[in-house]
Amino acid sequence: MNPSFASMNPVRISPLFDAQAPHAATWTRIETMQSVATFGSTDAARLPLAGIGDLSFRRRAGVKGPGAAGWLNALGIATPERPNSWLRLDDGTLVLRMGNTEYLVEDVAGGTRAATMLATAPVAGVYPVPRYDAALVIAGRNAIELTRQTCAFDFAGLSPSAQPLAMTSMVGVGVTVIAQENAEGRYFRLWCDGTYGGYLWTTLVEVATELGGGAVGLDALGRIAQP
């Protein structure tokens, strides 16, 4: 018997699953990852105030080393010119340069850049970096206040147009942070070791709730979750 489609495409589990499961109302599957679609009927009302979302479903890959930029460029992946900065490719792919020679590449839904990296043998001076990140979003007009209560770094200094990247600590968890924006305003993307993702998510949701917001599922995130 031929293996089923489901067996060939096993469900991935978000590093935030255990923290989110008791609060989830409905689920969806995106990029083979079980993700929260809604936490309840008030998700859309929370987002403009202080919404905490989960984009861990996006596929990502990392490399570092003196040859990393050239190797990525040969795969058609442009890299930021400055250390500690990021850029977005035309297809929505995010490329983060952390320090001088380490890169994180994150696909949008349906993207294949990460898969191409993982399927291509590295050359001399290129070292794969496994990525098992929890990937969060902080959005809403109270987002800056939330970050001031949870981090000593001033998120207000992150400009979506200048595209800087910060590596800092938030409630004791090491995070990589960038600022992006859409028609609704500025929001922040965070990546951390998935092992600590549940704690970070739970703490941020608690603070967001005090500011009128809270957990937000993919349905309410809408364009933030897409290119």
Cβ proximity of 58 and 135 under 8 Å:
yes
* Residue at a domain's end among 77, 109, 129: 129
Q: What is the CATH number of the domain that holds 143?
A: 3.30.1360.120
Predicted structure pTM score: 0.93
Say if residue 53 is in the same domain as residue 154: yes
Res. 65: pLDDT tops 80: yes
Domain match, 140 and 214 both: yes
What's the mean pLDDT in 9-22?
A: 92
Q: What is the CATH number of the domain that holds 123?
A: 3.30.70
pLDDT in tens, 93-122: 999 999 999 999 999 999 999 999 999 999
C-alpha distances (whole Å) from 192 to each of 8, 84, 217 are: 28, 16, 19
Are 164 and 199 in a shared domain? Answer: yes
Inside any domain, residue 140 = yes
CA distances (Å), 150 to each of 47, 55, 153, 155, in order? 18, 20, 9, 11
9 pLDDT more than 70: no
Of the residues 104, 129, 154, the one at which a domain ends: 129
Residue 2 covered by a domain: no
Helix, strand or coil for residue 56? coil
Residue type, 168: T
Where is the domain boundary, 81, 96, 129?
129
Confidence of residue 227 (pLDDT cuts 50, 70, 90): low
Give yes or no for a contact between 67 and 112, defined as CB atoms under 8 angstroms apart.
no
Residues 53, 81, single domain; the answer is no
214 in the same domain as 102: no
Farthest CA pair distance, the chain = 58
Kindly state whether residues 50 and 95 are assigned to the same domain. Answer: no
With respect to residue 100, please indicate whether it lies within any of the assigned structural domains: yes
CA distance 219 to 49: 16
Count of residues in the chain? 227
CA distance 147 to 208: 10
At residue 1, the pLDDT reads 35
Query: In this structure, is residue 87 part of a structural domain?
Result: yes
pLDDT class of 2 with cuts at 50, 70, 90: very low
Report yes or no: 50 and 146 within 8 Å, Cβ to Cβ.
yes
How many Å is the Cα radius of gyration of the chain? 17
The residue segments making up the domain with residue 18 are 13-57+132-221
Residue 19: alpha-carbon gap to chain centroid: 17
